[in-house]
Structure 1
Amino acid sequence: MDITKDDIYENIYVVQAPCGGLLQVWRSQEASEYVEVTDPATDVINTRNIMIFKVDTAAKKLVGIDSLDDHVLLLGRNQTLCLSVEEYPHLKANHAYFTDDCEPYLFGWKDNRRDIGIYDLANNSCEELVSPQLWSNWPNPIWITPSLTRL
């Protein structure tokens, strides 16, 4: 396999594909332009790219995927999901919703701005999910998936 991680700000997620197989999702983040400061709480990390691969277990390789069609990804520290927009019409098809899960920022610099947004897989662009930023950034953001059958 000739695909390699390119920096320390890359997270890898594993999620069940709609067809029942596995997807591996790579999310690259980058720090804002480096300026030497005394307070690391002023640093900002932003998602710059999301790549999706189908895991071919028989061939032991990853196959790149350009589109999720009518599905959406939810990426984060607590769980990763692939959902159908037919079942969740309020979500945008072929997009990845992400929460901040950069460990140094989650546990070390609790007052930093969080990288929470929506990534458009068709044109490789990001938009903020919550604007302005939340008033509280601790504990770290998570996805909550309530089950109406367990109420």
Structure 2
Amino acid sequence: MVLQELARRTIDARYRPFLGDEGVDWFIGSGASDDHIESHFRQGNLHCLEAGGDLVGLLITEESTVDLLMIDADRQRQGLGRLLLAQAERLLFAEYQEIRLETFAGNVTAVAFYEACGWSVSGQLESDGPDRIEFRRYRERAGTA
């Protein structure tokens, strides 16, 4: 599936600095990445971003959460992530007052991106795996800027 290839390529190119070679190789080699994409595709909560006829990004939403937002490694820093995040916000704010997302604490690029897009850090999540940062955003009330 093209979506799974995009995810594998992007994870391979961008996640090694904070997950390490072993973590990335396991995640891709185990099929966990492919399974995650496929299960959300079947559930109907996976959205695609195309540009110039090419699949360049994917978005998974789950309840009030941006579960995954990914732009092809070769197409990053072109404003596509902002487009896809804005779409996520439109979809989720249609149903929820408060929305959330998580990213790996070591993914400094993603942390800076979400902060630049107006998301606020609400806490650090610790687990058996790499630490994650939780972000939240609240729907603006009508009549506010």
TM-score relative to the length of structure 2: 0.28
TM-score relative to the length of structure 1: 0.28
Structure whose alpha-carbon radius of gyration is higher: 1
Higher share of residues assigned strand:
1
Higher share of residues assigned helix:
2
